[in-house]
Structure 1
């Protein structure tokens, strides 16, 4: 099963997701890291992604065939991640038939009602990894 992880900026969130996924499901999954920039892509590849690509076109192309997309909620927002998410990227991610499991962020002005006000990213990533298991196994 190929899991797509999308991140930008320094790739730190994507790195944490990939490390936790590999720790829990290593041999049962393959991870495609899609970075909005080369720094994020390199960090996610180093963390254990099986495949990696950078930029708008790889996001658009690979979201069409993705079955599961993971990342911060800002990836579905045009100009999200400090402007790194283009409208075309946000549209491709949003319109993809893939199941999306997204992490909330208090930096993108999207407040999801069921999300605690104080975000503990470690706990949220654990929940994301649990949900991946529910989806796949």
Structure 2
């Protein structure tokens, strides 16, 4: 199963997410795509198997992914302080992958009806959702 984590800015959310995924599911491999090199570097330090940076890397990775995880802004053009281009948002939105989006109420994008939870709780929830999509241990990829 191709698991893709996308993040921008400093990459801290992506880094924490990858660490949480690998702690709970050490058998998986995670690809990290950063909108900038700082984000990619942070996610690689978090344990990603491989990483790349920029728009084209994101477009290619979205075509290959089975599951995409990241902050809600990855599906909104000009989000993450302008780091998400329209093409990037479309690639994530139109990918055949299942998307697990973390509802961070930042950068003028507010999600109504979602409680203000600590980031750690949001990440735990995202990792639990990923677990529902993973094949049983010892099963086929």
Measured against the shorter chain, the TM-score band is: over 0.9
> What are structure 1's unaligned runs of at least 5 residues?
none
* Alpha-carbon distance between aligned partners in 2 of 1:119 and 1:133, rounded to the nearest angstrom: 20
Q: What's the counterpart of residue 96 of structure 2?
A: 97
Equivalent runs, 1:1-137 vs 2, <5 Å: 1-27=1-27, 29-116=28-115, 118-137=116-135
Aligned length: 135
User: What is the DSSP-based 3-state SS (H/G/I as helix, E as strand, rest coil) of the residue aligned with 1:26?
Assistant: coil
> What are structure 2's unaligned runs of at least 5 residues?
136-141
User: What is the DSSP-based 3-state SS (H/G/I as helix, E as strand, rest coil) of the residue aligned with 1:123?
Assistant: helix
Deviations 1:43-85 (Å, cap 9, x if unpaired)? 1011100010000000011101111000000010101100000
User: What is the DSSP-based 3-state SS (H/G/I as helix, E as strand, rest coil) of the residue aligned with 1:70?
Assistant: strand
* Alpha-carbon distance between aligned partners in 2 of 1:9 and 1:85, rounded to the nearest angstrom: 10
TM-score, normalised to structure 1, is 0.94
* Alpha-carbon distance between aligned partners in 1 of 2:122 and 2:21, rounded to the nearest angstrom: 13
C-alpha displacement at 1:87, in angstroms?
0.6
Greater fraction of residues in helix: 1
Q: CA RMSD in A?
A: 1.0
TM-score, normalised to structure 2, is 0.92
